[in-house]
Amino acid sequence: MSERKGKSSASKKPSRSSGDRSKGFDKPSKKPYGKGEQRYKKAKGDPLPSFSEDVRLNKFIANAGICSRREADVLIQSGIVEVNGKIITEMGYKVKPGDQVKYDGSTIQTEKKRYVLLNKPKDFITTMDDEHGRRTVLQLVKNACKERIYPVGRLDRNTTGVLLFTNDGDLAKKLTHPRYEVKKIYHVVLERPIDVEQIKALHAGVELDDEDFVKVDSAEIIADSRMREVGVEIHSGKNRVIRRMFEAIGHNVTRLDRVKFAGLTKKDLPRGTWRNLTDKEVDFLRMG
């Protein structure tokens, strides 16, 4: 499956058919994801690219998916890493484009960076595997590419919507680090109506069950929803933060859908399907 033809979903302006939708708070799609339905073709295989500038040896090893940078330092010090036939034990050594790097006698192949966007359905957990045999999001993107990709952040089992996967560790770290304040927009459906004073409380900030204090960047009641649906913009990445914030003001969330993450939307992406990001979208994430 590859990206759909035409303009990327992230570059299109949201529908303005109603006041709430102009804010990007479209109601969740009710289209079933079906039995392995795939509406996008797999990207054509292209050769693995070489990096274009010098890179530290530990980063090169980590980017190849062998281990973390810290663990790579241990491998280098142990004398089992070679560059162009020479054992390297120097910390901070830089690999040049075209260098041949071997680990324990085997040549390390650099992976092509992959960026896959999934519209997550309910009842899938955001983890690599599950000891209880529950369905995971990795099962939904297993045919996206041959490289091993990982979810950026988490959505709990019953939360739906935008979920990004990549093998670009640097970008993933950036998108999840609190310093960068990556914006997310959620469509929240409540068990009972909410009032304006409670919306103001979300803006002012609420104390969570672990005594953390969190406030939304924006929260608006969605028109024609009988005061039971709210569009929320937030940059906090705390675990289950939306559900916990509403619980703090006395509301139970019955449905939660992430409609936007770091500028990426699920527009034209049916529930349970994925697509590759466009080069333009990747550049936007890197520059953001």
Q: What is the CATH number of the domain that holds 94?
A: 3.10.290.10
Instruction: Output the six-digit token pair for 260.
Output: 């936007």
Residue 146 has pLDDT above 90, yes or no: no
Q: Pick the catalytic residue: 54, 129, 130, 156?
A: 156
Name the band, by pLDDT with cuts 50, 70 and 90, for residue 196. very high
Instruction: Output the six-digit token pair for 173.
Output: 């770290």
- Judged by DSSP in three states, 26 sits in coil
Question: Tokens 């803006």 sit at which residue?
Answer: 203
On whether residue 5 sits in a domain, the answer given is no
Distance of alpha carbon 25 from alpha carbon 257, whole angstroms: 10
Integer-rounded Cα Rg, in Å, for the chain is 22
Tell which residue, 164, 154, 118, has the closest CA to residue 243: 154
- Judged by DSSP in three states, 75 sits in helix
* Domain count for the chain: 2
Q: Any idea of the CA torsion for 121, 158, 118, 61, to the nearest 10 degrees?
A: -140
Q: Do 91 and 234 reside in the same domain of the chain?
A: no
pTM attached to this predicted model: 0.67
Distance of alpha carbon 90 from alpha carbon 105, whole angstroms: 18
Distance of alpha carbon 7 from alpha carbon 270, whole angstroms: 17
Lowest mean pLDDT segment, chosen from 8-22, 80-94, 122-136:
8-22
On whether residue 37 sits in a domain, the answer given is no
Q: Do 217 and 270 reside in the same domain of the chain?
A: yes
Using the 8-state DSSP alphabet, how is residue 136 labeled?
A: B
Domain region containing 260: 114-287
Q: How many residues does the chain have?
A: 288
Distance of alpha carbon 258 from alpha carbon 242, whole angstroms: 10
Tell which residue, 259, 267, 208, has the closest CA to residue 230: 259
The answer to whether 123 and 277 are in contact (CB under 8 A) is no
On whether residue 97 sits in a domain, the answer given is yes
Q: Do 92 and 165 reside in the same domain of the chain?
A: no
Instruction: Output the six-digit token pair for 168.
Output: 């670009």
Q: Active site includes 156?
A: yes
On whether residue 20 sits in a domain, the answer given is no
Q: What pLDDT is recorded for position 112?
A: 80
Name the band, by pLDDT with cuts 50, 70 and 90, for residue 287. confident
Q: What pLDDT is recorded for position 147?
A: 85
On whether residue 90 sits in a domain, the answer given is yes
Instruction: Output the six-digit token pair for 232.
Output: 């929320």
The answer to whether 192 and 236 are in contact (CB under 8 A) is no
Q: Do 59 and 158 reside in the same domain of the chain?
A: no
Residue 95 CB contacts under 8 Å (≥ 6 apart), including other chains: 54, 55, 56, 57, 60, 83, 101
Instruction: Output the six-digit token pair for 81.
Output: 């890493």
Q: Do 206 and 188 reside in the same domain of the chain?
A: yes
Q: What pLDDT is recorded for position 156?
A: 94
On whether residue 200 sits in a domain, the answer given is yes
Instruction: Output the six-digit token pair for 49.
Output: 């690219």
CATH at 146: 3.30.2350.10
Q: Do 79 and 199 reside in the same domain of the chain?
A: no
Other Cβ atoms less than 10 A from the Cβ of 72: the count is 22
Averaged pLDDT score across all residues of the chain: 84
Question: Tokens 């640097």 sit at which residue?
Answer: 170
| Partners of residue 161 on adjacent β-strands | 120, 258
Q: Which residue has the higher pLDDT, 249 or 25?
A: 249
Residue 213 has pLDDT above 60, yes or no: yes
